[in-house]
Amino acid sequence: MSVEPTTRAAAAAGTVDLGDLTVNRLGFGAMRITGKGVWGEPSDREEAKRVLRRAVELGVNLIDTANSYGPEVSENLIAETLHPYPEGLVVATKGGLTRPGPGEWRRDARPEALREALEGSLRRLRVDRIDVYQLHSVDATVPLEESLGALAELQGEGKIRHIGLSNVDPRQLAQARAVVDVVSVQNRYNLGDRHSESVIEASEREGIAFLPWFPLNVGALATAGGKLAEVAASHRATQAQVALAWLLRRSPAIAPIPGTSSVEHLEENVGAAALELTDAEFADLSHSAGAGL
């Protein structure tokens, strides 16, 4: 059994600001509406489109994607399904990673490459300006200031509304904030992997939204009869819902973006917005995750 979502259910988790944009704290990551290995078309294109439509029906108003998802497939599907976009829907995308082939991810954050990536995303998403454009990864061969300088130029041209970052450490976040206004950071973070704690703390302190990717990984906590299973059973919820509820409780800056290619799993994920952990449950899960139990 799981906590069932109702219409506009995503709003139950509250909101977070992305600059002058306000979104519900439970968003949707559109990486999984592509083929196996995030490559090519999805196995069930119509189901992927149903997922996108259902997400909006449930009150999700932040959809996160990237030009490298497919590549290009995710952005094309979002536009095909949802354009013209409902009022208040924020579609965030990313540039800076390329896909030479299935299973391959290559950094390319040269200014000219980012401009080309941004222009492609504008065409595919059928918009004149990207609400939130994120540097997908820092490129060790390109000074971060140069990559962000290119995004600042594109922002000045009216093609980017707000700038975000992905896969950065606290030093890189501080370095970036000296060049541009940063509204969001997207790092891997979940109940089983908490290496970005210091980035969350910096984000909360600076009023920056933190969008954890891979939010449903629970690591060793997924054992039968363990603390996670115990908490899930007490709420008549799934372990995935508890993992999302833990993220929402962890910091008001956190806005999880779980992804799926299934309407059933989407509804399960969004149902987590209404799940409230007790202080003891949150503390026990935090301790268990920290101890690797």
- Structure token digits, residue 45: 């294109």
Cβ atoms 256, 13 nearer than 8 A: no
d(CA 71, CA 102): 10
Long-range CB contact pairs, 174-178, < 8 A, 24+:
174/202, 175/144, 175/145, 176/135, 176/144, 176/148, 177/206
Residue with tokens 């030093």: 171
Long-range CB contact pairs, 37-42, < 8 A, 24+:
37/102, 37/103, 38/68, 38/69, 38/70, 39/70, 39/99, 39/101, 39/102, 39/103, 40/70, 40/73, 40/102, 41/70, 41/73, 42/73, 42/77, 42/261
* Distances from the Cα of 273 to the Cα of 7, 165, 256, 266, angstroms: 12, 25, 10, 12
Which residue numbers are catalytic? 69
- Structure token digits, residue 78: 């979002």
Cβ atoms 95, 133 nearer than 8 A: yes
d(CA 139, CA 113): 12
